[in-house]
Structure 1
Amino acid sequence: MPADAVRADIRRFLTSRRARITPQQAGLPDFGGRRQVSGLRRSEVAQLASISVEYYTRLERGNVGGVSEEILDSLATALQLDDVERAHLAALIRAANAPHRSTDRDGGTSHVRDSLHQILDAMTGAAAFVRNAHLDVLTTNQLARALYEEALDTDDHPPNLARFVFLDPRSRHFYRDWDGIAHDAVGSLRTEAARTPGNTDLADLIDELATHSDEFAMRWDAHDVEYYRSGQQRFHHPAVGDIDLDYDALEIPADPGLTIVTYTLSPTSAYADVFRRLQEHIAAPEPTNPGTRTQSRL
């Protein structure tokens, strides 16, 4: 991502964050009358952050050279940023101040070590897959193949969950909380885009999604960021029906950019019978020669 594009992202992010906060929410007096801007004025953000209006204006224009941790903390407090948003702003500032360099692999690795395959295969009571930061699904265990059979039914190699969410109409039936998963997908990609601004593969994916999905383009322009870490996902599986599963996204320190995503069921869940039917839905695995195993295994 060119330096001017990073500065534009900083401007849009800061503008969007102050636009969502009212003076009342910020604890500022409301003197009535018609306001010319939605949310906070620049002068109000500067006041809350204890910096000059001129300095905040320069920051909002993307001129962030020399920004200290103290200033970053002050901005995060003034704009009521959560931990994810603060980390995102910090990543944008680092990107703006770093020499521009292009890479087409950062965060989009497709290599999965054999030991990770073995870990997934050992998870017989959980659906699990490995994805990279581009949301490519690189390898799955049997239960994840059964759960995600529609998302994996694609000519793309490896399959990409963002493409499934925004470009495949089946996703709106598969995810019962489609709006939530769409928000998380866009937020995850925007977080990664700030972390690796020279990532041309990711830029191509974002351009593809924005070109072919108005929904993605609208959400991308909102500049929301998200970490997909843990929670509950509500599915409608075409063969077994509705099922709610707990998910955890486990980053792999030895393989930066790779994450194991697991879906499990509480022993007291009302969906125990559905989960059992999903396990019965697993197709018999094809024999695999470990020496010639493909990375996707899909």
Structure 2
Amino acid sequence: MAIDSADLQAAGLPTTASEALLRSDALAPLQDLEIVDESVDGDVTRLTVSFTAGGYAGTTTLSVQRDGWAGLLPRWRFARSPLAVMDLSVRGSMRFSVNGFEVDKRQVSVDRADADPSAALPLLVFSPGMYSVAVNTAISATPGVAVLADAPLAGVPVNVQAEPTEDFISVVQQRVNDFLSACAEQKVLQPTGCPFGFTVRNRIDGEPDWSIVEQPVVTVVPDGTGWRIPSAKAVAHIRVDIRSIFDGSVRTVDEDVAFRVDGEITVQPDGTASILVGGETD
């Protein structure tokens, strides 16, 4: 079943395709195998095979030729490699599984540790073969995408978009809550690095007192190779005494300040997530 780079190049396929999936752990069984047609062209025999994969019926044609003898029995080899190339894009995770076999992009990419999270991965696969690609990590998951490779030396494009897990969203929610609560501890009108603040024309008489009366309801959505927190409404409350610069009178400001929160989430190579919270006052 061996294939060389010249054959891949001639078929218009990537010559750097990984052999990681050419193992029994990454194979799904085929059922109802039957040779339904046979033709001979010189020393090449073409066999049309019907099969069932994952409940779906299919056919493929394999080309074989004699390769000497094993005692009294003829030995055969493939005249044309039955391998195909899965062009796999997995967004939202560096790790995924194929038919339950765990794969890390950095293990199969030609760039290894410097693998681009957004780049498609060329992977050699057997044809015919059913391949189910899924993501199941603490951060992201997907029910999986099944694809049938049923033609030798063909490209099989597969796109998988992982979605954030409930645990991941819960962690992000807690981090945002903690961030805003820390902002509210600052005794200034414009808390540093925070998405809310208050402006006055006069002087303040004493330190402002902030509190968060409505935390945002955070969601997480895919954003390229990372994640994004869409803009969400939140409400802070300020209480501060204001002294007039004209007559010295003091009045107390005691009101809500509406603002919006958004953010960017970057997943580090070690699997941890860096959360950058932003936003602005409404």
Same fold at TM > 0.5: no
Give the TM-score of the pair, scaled to structure 1.
0.23
Which protein has the bigger helix share?
Answer: 1
Q: Choose 1 or 2 for highest CA Rg.
A: 2
* Greater RCO structure (CA 8 Å; 6+ sep): 1
Give the TM-score of the pair, scaled to structure 2.
0.24
